[in-house]
Amino acid sequence: NAGVTQTPKFQVLKTGQSMTLQCAQDMNHEYMSWYRQDPGMGLRLIHYSVGAGITDQGEVPNGYNVSRSTTEDFPLRLLSAAPSQTSVYFCASSPLGGGTEAFFGQGTRLTVV
């Protein structure tokens, strides 16, 4: 199994550009989430989904959009990138919403200049 796959691994954007970070899992997990990791800040939850068609905001949702049209995919969209969004982004999935092991992707390192 591939597990959780994130693409791209690295990306440089100019301020104001838009892009989509892709996340796919092949484990038929209901719960998927996006985190950003910044030095000294740990992992902060951006958005999460408990199933296809259902999404909710986490701790730091501003500047990001998500959708969940299939069980497998949970893309994260940056509509107008800002330098403050420079970070490492992790996608995670788990079988159920809450109380089960989360499987993480390899991460996407995003730099906004």
Among 106, 9, 111, 102, residue whose Cα is nearest residue 48: 102
Q: Decide: 64 and 81 in contact? Cβ < 8 Å.
A: no
Residue 7 is a binding residue for other proteins (CB under 8 A): no
Choosing from 80, 106, 111, 113, the residue that interacts with other proteins (CB under 8 A) is 106
User: By CB under 8 A, is residue 74 in contact with other proteins?
Assistant: no
**23 neighbors 6 (Cβ within 8 angstroms):** yes
Query: Of the candidates 21, 25, 35, 76, which one interacts with other proteins according to CB under 8 A?
Result: 35
Q: Is 45 in the site for other proteins (CB under 8 A)?
A: yes
Using the contact rule CB under 8 A, the part of the chain among 7-15, 19-27, 70-78, 102-110 near other proteins is 102-110
AA letter at 62? N
- Restricting to residues 14-33, name those near other proteins by CB under 8 A: 31, 33
Question: Cα(18)–Cα(25) distance, rounded to whole angstroms?
Answer: 23
